[in-house]
Chains A and B, each alone.
Chain A
Amino acid sequence: MDDSYSGVGELHLVVTSVSSDSHTWNLVYLQLLLEEMGHDVTNLGACVPEALLVDRCRDISPDLVVMSSVNGHGWTDGARAVRALHAVPELAQTPAIIGGKLSIDGLHGTELRESLLDAGFDEVFADDARPEALADYLATVRRRQAV
């Protein structure tokens, strides 16, 4: 195992796609990457309806929800999902991030990013984001928890 990310782990993460996205390779990759960083991962898989995401997060109480989508519908489906998540009182403060190919045109403009942040995501990662950027973000989550 590559230990380049060691020391930033120990979060319990839910990895999930959005309701219309059936791609799985991105989820498998993310799970392996996050586990390599030392985190516990519950992978909900592809085509996750909002109700299922909410139910599982109620059961798990994750430290963070990591949403990934590559079918181009992520910016609409993701916004809907994070709103559903945060509409539940006990999950209202659960942080959530999203990344991937989130729009049809492949662009990651300011408007797309702002709309996802407005919907409730704490961070938005473009499809060219490096793993180190995700590791850095997770380290900040862990530090916030430690305070």
Chain B
Amino acid sequence: MNAPNFGDIVLATAADHNLVVQPRMGVSRPDVMRRELLATRTARAHTVGTITLDSYTRVGDHESARAALASGVDLNGYPIVDHSDAVTRRVLDGVCTPDFQMEYCSSSLTTTILMSAPVVPSVLSGMCWPPRSRFEP
């Protein structure tokens, strides 16, 4: 990806006295995820797209994530480990442009999660959610 650095875009936008808007985007269905990313990209604002991981993926409860996908139950984020690589590649195909950056957002970006991400986003953030009390120091 030859897009400008995420931080550079934020700094340049701030220097112009504008805000960068990043919707939370807690979406589990691939078609909805793609639709909302494209809608975010075309919004009349300086936007950043987000794939917020679901809570089951964050705590490593992949059994529950897979059960939800199998039964059509929506999750509070995108189960990037349990959607296939092909599915996620289709979600992200052509989404990122030089002016539109992506972030994977979770309080816990474990090695398992990162190794499962088929497309490397501009930024990996572990700072979107505040405090974790049990599993995360």
Residues of A with Cβ closer than 8 Å to B? 19-22, 24, 45-48, 71-73, 76-77, 104-105
18 contacts between A and B (CB under 8 A): A19-B59, A20-B55, A20-B56, A20-B59, A20-B61, A22-B55, A22-B58, A22-B129, A22-B132, A22-B136, A24-B133, A45-B133, A47-B59, A47-B132, A48-B134, A72-B55, A72-B76, A73-B75
Interface centre among A46, A72, A77, A104 (most CB of B within 10 A): A104
Please state if B64 and A20 are interface contacts (CB–CB under 8 Å).
yes
Contacts of B73 in A (CB 8 A): 76
Instruction: Check if B137 is an interface residue, CB within 8 A of chain A.
Output: no
Interface residues of chain A: helix, strand, loop or mixed (majority): loop
Which of A22, A45, A48, A77 has a CB less than 8 Å from the CB of B107? A22
**Distance from A19 Cβ to chain B, minimum over Cβ atoms (Å):** 7
Residues of B with Cβ closer than 8 Å to A? 26, 55-56, 58-59, 61, 64, 68, 73-76, 107, 129, 131-136
Please state if A47 and B64 are interface contacts (CB–CB under 8 Å).
no
Contacts of A20 in B (CB 8 A): 55-56, 58-59, 61, 64
**Distance from B15 Cβ to chain A, minimum over Cβ atoms (Å):** 34
User: What CA separation (Å) do A105 and B74 show in the bound complex?
Assistant: 9
Interface centre among B58, B134, B135 (most CB of A within 10 A): B134
